[in-house]
Chain A
Amino acid sequence: QVQLQESGPGLVKPSETLSLTCSVSGVSISSYFWSWIRQPPGKGLEWIGYMYYSGNPDYTPSLENRVTISLDTSKNQFYLNMSSVTATDTAVYYCAGYTATTQTPDLWGQGTLVTVSS
């Protein structure tokens, strides 16, 4: 059974860095593409970026100067770092995986709410 679990601080201060980990079990991290997607409270979905184990990450242009996605195949984990956060970064952050066939996330974590507030 495949499981994705996001972890990290639920509260981050403005101007600081948001750091999240997605722990993947039940499937090798090298067999999927891995993405981060966020959803502000009561709003829609926003793509943050993705990474494949053998390639470079790709980020949505509006966030690319603040975001870093990386992965560790030995730990079967991937990561999100977002610097200089503001209140507009408050959202549920999802990690998700997809294959070349669907090109759309079909594996999802439960999501973690990150609130940016002093």
Chain B
Amino acid sequence: DIVMTQIPLSSPVTLGQPASISCRSSHSLEHSNGNTYLSWLQQRPGQPPRLLIYKISNRFPGVPERFSGSGAGTDFTLKISRVEAEDVGIYYCMQAAQFPRTFGQGTKLEI
């Protein structure tokens, strides 16, 4: 299985300031079809996860523009340009290059 490692596991942030979460995979997530399948999900307290970003940098419909993804190969980053109160929650990276899908441990974003 591909191991996903997130840094940090907890991130205190200030409203209106940027935030960044890193994710590293144990193997390249580049598929033979040329796509790199790294996704980011947000889980607000008491809610199911929600897809934010897929294939490194594609925002899912309805996701605010302040969320952006970048990276390549085995190193990826989720950035929030200006944190809002509703962004509190746990963020997971997930690899979709191979089965079984695997998730990072989660990063808790706290105001």
Contact = CB atoms under 8 A, between A and B. Distances in A.
Interface of A: 35, 44-47, 49-50, 58-61, 94, 96, 101-106, 108-111
A6 B96 CA distance: 23
A96 to B, nearest CB: 8
Contacts of B41: 45, 104-105
Chain B contact residues: helix, strand, loop or mixed: loop
Contacts of A45: 41, 49, 92, 94, 103, 106
Interface residues of B, number: 23
Interface of B: 1, 37, 39, 41, 48-51, 54-55, 58, 60, 92, 94, 96, 99-106
A44 B106 contact: yes
A109 B92 CA distance: 17
Contacts of B102: 47
Contacts, number: 63
B25 to A, nearest CB: 14
B103 A102 contact: no
A103 B54 contact: yes
Contacts of A47: 100-103
A104 B103 contact: no
Contacts of B37: 103-104
B94 A104 contact: yes
6 contacts: A35-B101, A102-B51, A104-B37, A104-B94, A104-B96, A106-B54
